[in-house]
Amino acid sequence: MTNLDASLREQVRILGEGLGRTMSAARGEEFLALVESIRNLSKQVHQGEATPQCLSQMLNDLDDEMLLPVARAFNQFLNLANAAEQHYRARERVVEDYRAGEQPGLTLLLDKLKNSGLAPQVIYKSLTEQRVELVFTAHPTEISRRTLIQKYDLLDDCLTDYETCPNDKARQDVLHRLEQLIAQAWHTDEIRAQRPTPVDEARWGFAVIENSLWQAVPAYYRQLDEQLITLTGQSLPLDAAPIRFASWMGGDRDGNPRVTARITQEVLWLSRWMAADLYYRDIDQLRAELSMYQASAALTERVGPVREPYRVILGQVRDRLRATLDWLKAQLDGKPYDDERILFEVAGLREPLVLCYESLCEQGMKVIADGLLLDILRRLATFGMNLLRLDVRQEAPRHAQAIAEAANYLGLGDYAEWDEQRKVDFLLHELTNPRPLLPEHWPCSDETREVLDTCKVIARERADALGAYVISMAAQPSDVLAVALLLKTAGLERTMRIAPLFETLADLERAPKVIDGLLSLPWYQQYTSGRQEVMIGYSDSAKDAGQLAASWAQYRAQEAVTRVCAARKVHLTLFHGRGGTVGRGGGPTQAAILAQPPGSVQGRLKVTEQGEMIRFKFGLPALAERALEVYTCAVLEATLAPPPAPKDEWRLLMDNIANDAVEGYRALVKDHPDFVRYFRQLTPEQELSKLPLGSRPAKRKGGGGIESLRAIPWIFAWTQVRLMLPAWLGSDVALDKAIERGETQALREMIDGWPFFASNMNMLEMVLAKVDLATVEDYESLLVEDDLKPLGKTLRVREKQLVERLLILREQTQLLERVPLTQQAISVRNPYIIPLHQLQSELLARVRACEQAQICSTQPEMLERALMVTMAGIAAGLRNTG
């Protein structure tokens, strides 16, 4: 696939023409002509046939009232282009962009592993025991409203119908339906009226499963099953689930006061209700299908000599699911309900289904057993009775505050002033003490009461409903032991996975010592039963040290933690907190997993899927099926055929590069006196807080500078103005110095022989291709004070020099010349994104003038809404936000 497919171009044209007719009907031919003239001029600017100033002047001349509809026009087109591309990727099974020879496939990989000398049984064992956990998070990077996403999904169905139309009449009917959907989208407000609640976010996650993964999972396992039978003659076991799903939606309270214990409990009940409802529908359909009368002795013994034994037992299962739904509805409504038929355990649903499956196989009806019944069993193995396991996340200082208040109440002194050893001794003493630490009711702050109430929700819940308790800002063993004690105090009588999250550069360097300290404690060894989960944070470490230095720190931390756990004979699961953008650890899944340190995967992987990346990877069943295959392949290859360890000289060179990178990054971001002013004047960072993206605030705490800003708005702001600073700053200094030291050839060898370094350079190249310095200069000329403009000029020069260095290093004449699909996708979108940038800079100037009460020719709300539309459109055009 070296060029954008003709069918994709045709579908983009069809959708674009439909949008044109919709706009003409809504606002008249004159408006459509205006939009077309802006688009054509933008195209000329992009091709170098006109100056950016011409386009800027055309947009500046627009009345305030015209800014919003023009912004909406380009926003809508980019969303329609995305819908067409999403459809194309689903059809071609291209979930991500790959370089030549990189695209993974299960058949090819199994052949490769077998030809390398691995026994088929070894491959089979690795696949069936694989544990990949994909965690959907509520990080606010999905900018599109759910109602519009649903319309785009319907567009996808129409495009499928269009491709298979048998005649012109059918084709015209499809085109008419497409135009209806486009009109519906145009007449729908693309900006949410208010921020989604944590429960809204959780419902969105459930919808992804209902609309896509519920179909994709059994379809993918059917494909995997066929491959295993070809390889070994053995099927995938009925209870095998190489890939499972978890969620932070409703459980992640780190810096989000809207996620309370009550919210977490509600989301847990809703998740179970959604699962029970989906199974109820499946069982109802299955009961209609299984009208057979031949049954095994075991099934006949269960239901008696009835005419339709499968329908009888499935009717009983359906009744139990109905009772479960009624019970969960009563829980949500706060009403009492009791019924002995309620299903609490997976086994209660699985056992009668397996009985039916075995009976059908025994009676010579395996072809029937392997239909919907097998699909339901696969879903049950993957989603359980809870749909998604819920992780709980809270920051370490909140736990320390709770323990400190308890110690103070008990007259034990100031816990916060104790050294680490004293804290550990105290916590271990209380963990092994059979008496409760605290009475049921004791005076404490609202913050501590909330922490304890959350622990009580965990204690009341069934173990299979919950995943891990993640501790952000973890820095010492006492941070983990504090959570264990709070859970014990709340009445939890079982163990729960507790995963410390290491985020900043200093945290990552300290991680192996913290984990070793924990695993040296006999009580903790017994508590973990030989299994430890460690989360690696990508976003905050990159914000702290720059992308390249953070990436190397993450790599080294994983290596060291892997060695510690191996020495302690503990099974390690590394939990990767990756975002969608390069500045937050994003990138193609296969490359990212194969870039991990050799030996760190071992068949187990946990990773976050965030915001818009959930929709891009899992929003359509065909895309989701392909994404699951990519994960399986990458983890299998990283486990059975990991890349060789990097050479010692490469590691030494990487140490030097990382040191140079972090110095170059921090010299600007943390030390330059004008940087914060420049950042806030150039970008829409301050205005971003008005965009109702997610339930979580943009800052952990009010006030403060860059340090208090979350990684998502930090990256979002730079993305909007097309400088992409967080993803490349520091790399320019590091590569410049390495090349000056005469290390060019060594760097090329690292790209060719070390997946970690190759992945970093690939992502750097991709993000540099999205930079548009002319656009940056336009923002600067309108928004930035004159005394700050030399800083902007310096940054643009640094970016240009980095591109030159990277092209020399890669021996290329232009960026992305080996990834043509990505290159062309960026190029095709630019004529539609550039007007949005121009509009956004103009709107920022007008909004800020209004706020300063200088001039305000119209309602500020109209300008702000138009500004939000440009943010949404640019995010759609670049296919990522934060």
Contact, 693 vs 195, CB < 8 A?
yes
386 and 244 Cβ atoms separated by less than 8 Å: no
Cα angle value 42/89/830 (rounded, 5°): 10
Position 17, amino acid:
E
Whether 619 and 149 have beta carbons less than 8 Å apart is answered as yes
Catalytic residue among 151, 543, 617, 770: 543
Residues 6 or more apart whose CB falls under 8 angstroms from that of 434 comprise none
Query: What is the Cα Rg of the chain in Å?
Result: 28
Q: Is 94 exposed, middle or buried (0-12, 13-18, 19+ CB in 10 A)?
A: middle
Q: HSE (CB half, 13 Å, CA atoms) of 274?
A: 22
Catalytic-role residue among 46, 139, 606, 617: 139
CA distance 677 to 788: 8
The interaxial angle of helices 346-362 and 372-383, nearest 10 deg, is 150
Buried b (16+ CB within 10 A) or exposed e, 571-604: bbbbbbbbbbbbbbbbbbbbbbbbbbbbbbbbbb
Rounded to an integer, what distance in angstroms lies between the CA atom of residue 378 and that of residue 241? 7
Residues 6+ apart with CB under 8 A from 776: 682, 721, 722, 723, 792, 795, 796
Tokens of 825: 């996708």
In sign, the C-alpha dihedral spanning 133, 135, 136, 142 is negative
Distance CA 315, CA 310 (A): 8
Q: How far apart are CA 716 and CA 139, in angstroms?
A: 12
Nearest to 812 by CA among 746, 756, 757, 768: 768
- 488 given a catalytic annotation: no
Cα of 179 vs its chain's centroid, Å: 32
Rounded to the nearest 10°, the torsion over CA 275, 278, 279, 284 is 160
Find where tokens 């994909």 sit: 134
Cβ pair 448, 441 in contact under 8 A: no
CA 870 to chain centre: 23
Q: Is 139 a catalytic residue?
A: yes
Catalytic residues: 139, 543
